[in-house]
Structures are given as C-alpha cells and as structure tokens.
Structure 1
Amino acid sequence: MRGNTLAIGLASLLLLATLEAQGFEDGEDWKGPLRLGKKKVDYLHFYFHDMFDAKNPTPLIVAEANITQSSPTLFGMVRVMDQPLTEGPNLTSKMIGKAQGIFASVSQT
C-alpha cells in the first residue's frame, strides 16, 4: 500500500514538474529565440498501472538501506519500473506508452 501511494505521488510530481518547466501562462506569447508564437494547450489523459502484487510486478526493488524495513516511509529503498500507460483504467484498454525509470524513498518522516 505504501508503495502504491509513493509511485502515484512520484508520477504526479514528475508530470507537474514537466508542466511547470514551460515557464509561461496559457495564451501568452513566447518570445524565445525560436519565435514560436502563442502556446498551444494539450491535455493528456492516461492511466498509470503500478502492479506490485502481480505475477510479474512492474516495480522491482534493486537496493535498500539497513533501516528500510523498519522505516514507516521505506526510507532508502530504490526501485526500477517498467509500467504500462493505458487509455482507460483497465489493463485491457489500449496501451499508449510506458513509464520507465527509477524511484527512491527518500523521506525519513
């Protein structure tokens, strides 16, 4: 359960960071060196499937600290992931991509 919350929070944070990196408001002219004009707004909708209890789990633990198992936040755990992104909430819906990468539990509290 703790891992699911962590993965969802991480995915949300990464998406937010990507959107915030744009650096300009909706409809504002972007006067950068490429002179791209007005920003186009697109909305992405996808479902991130974090399968910890599956036959082939999508996140795998690759390292952990000596205190990880006694930590309420799993501090020191490092996982790698390869998870499907789908159009709908069911795994049987059309796969539109994959979320791949590394995440770590870094909060002690």
Structure 2
Amino acid sequence: MARTISALLVSAVLLAASSIYFGRRAGSTNGSATARTHLHFYMHDEYTGPNPTAALIVPGRAPLPDTVGTSRRFGDIAVMNNALTEGPQRGSPRVGTAQGFTVRVSERGSVNALSMHLVMEDGEFVGSSLVVNSRVDTDLAMRESVIVGGTGRFRFARGYALSRSYDYDLAKGGIVEIDVYLY
C-alpha cells in the first residue's frame, strides 16, 4: 500500500512538473519577441538612379498580345536589397534591410512569388530577421504575406505582413508601407 502511494505521489509530481514545463514553453517566447509584436516601417524600392536597390535579373518571356505595354512579364526574376526606414522620407532613420527576390508567376496581372528576409539593424531587435514567403498581387491596394520564421529574437516567428504602396511607380520603384504582426 505504501509503495502504491509513493508511486502515485511520484507520478503526480512528475506530471505536475512536466505540465508546468511544457505549459511555459508553449506560452513563452523563450526570450524572443514573437508574442503579439507589431512592427511598422517603410521599404524603399529603387529600380533607377545611380544606386538601384532592386534589379531585374532574369527577363521573362515576351508579353502576351493583350498585355503589351506592361513593364513586367511572366517569368521576370528581380532581386532586392531595400532600405527599411521608420518613416516614408528618404532621410528617415534606417531600421533594417529587406533582402530577397520575386518571380512573376502570372501571365496577366502583377502577381509575384516573394521570398524575402527583413533584417533588423537598429532598435531592440537588432541582429534579428524575419522570413517572408508569399504570393503577392501588386494590383491590390493591400497585400498580405506570411511570416514563416526568423532568427535571433524572432526565432520560430509566425504571423503576417500587410503591405501597401505608399508612393510607387512600377517602372522606377518607390515606397511601400509595411505592418508586421507576430503572434
């Protein structure tokens, strides 16, 4: 009888300890900033000028007859190394860099497959990055992308990013406003 009580007591203690441990792990951020974090910044995407930060690397196929006159083609691959800033002005403090590439995946419209890293270079998240992967229809006023991971303070990050053109010209580039929501 005493042996059974001891075994039950040990089992109860182990069960309580493991539930506390795993409960904290599931609800904690492990020192990361992924629990309900909101980031807001502006991405400067420049195709022209003396130091472009985005470039068409592989031109796609010739436009379809009903899409002649568009500056983008099915199969275009572009890369970016764009500044992320606090505000939309050119002199606004820099907070990071958006590095990645897009592939135009639609024969009509401006739909791209996006793979991008948002690398934080200032503030409380310096040295951390977020991984964005999504289908982006740039003809939409508001675009949603998926946050699929991260590094540093954003390790195991999950969430989404909402982007909208702030001041943008498809031929020259421009400014995109981005809100990131992590949970």
TM-score, normalized by the shorter chain, greater than 0.5? yes
- Superposed, 1:55-70 pairs within 5 Å as 55-67=50-62, 70=68
Asked if residue 40 in structure 1 is aligned to residue 39 in structure 2, the reply is no
Structure-2 change in CA distance of 1:40 and 1:66 (3 Å)? closer
5+ residue gaps, structure 1, are: 1-30
Report percent identity of matched pairs: 33
Q: How far, CA to CA, are the matches of 1:75 and 1:32 in structure 2?
A: 48
Q: In structure 2, what is the Cα distance between the partners aligned to 1:106 and 1:92?
A: 34
SS in 2 for 1:67: coil
Residues 9-42 of structure 1: CA distance to partner in whole angstroms, max 9, x if unpaired?
Answer: xxxxxxxxxxxxxxxxxxxxxx879222598322
Kept in 2, the 8 Å contact 1:68–1:76? The answer is no
- Pairs aligned (count): 79
What is the TM-score normalised by the length of structure 1? 0.59
Report what 2:156 is aligned to: none
Q: Is the alpha carbon distance of 1:81 and 1:32 closer, same or farther for their aligned partners in structure 2, counting shifts above 3 Å?
A: farther
Unaligned stretches of 5+ residues in structure 2 = 1-21, 109-183
Deviation at 1:68, TM superposition (A): 5.1
Amino acid at match of 2:92: S
CA contact (8 A) 1:51 1:57 kept: yes
Taking only aligned residues, the RMSD between alpha carbons, in angstroms, comes to: 2.8
More strand by share: 2
CA displacement 1:25-73 (0-9 Å, x = unmatched)? xxxxxx8792225983221110011112222111111112331595745
| Counterpart residue identity of residue 25, structure 2 | L
| Runs of 4 or more consecutive aligned structure 1 residues displaced over 2 Å after TM superposition | 31-35, 37-40, 68-73
Structure 2 counterpart of 1:35, one-letter code:
A
**Rounded Cα–Cα distance in structure 1 between residues aligned with 2:57 and 2:63:** 13
Counterpart of 2:62, as a letter, is I
SS, match of residue 85 in structure 1: strand
Please identify the structure whose Cα radius of gyration is greater: 2
State which drifts further: 33-42 or 74-83. 33-42
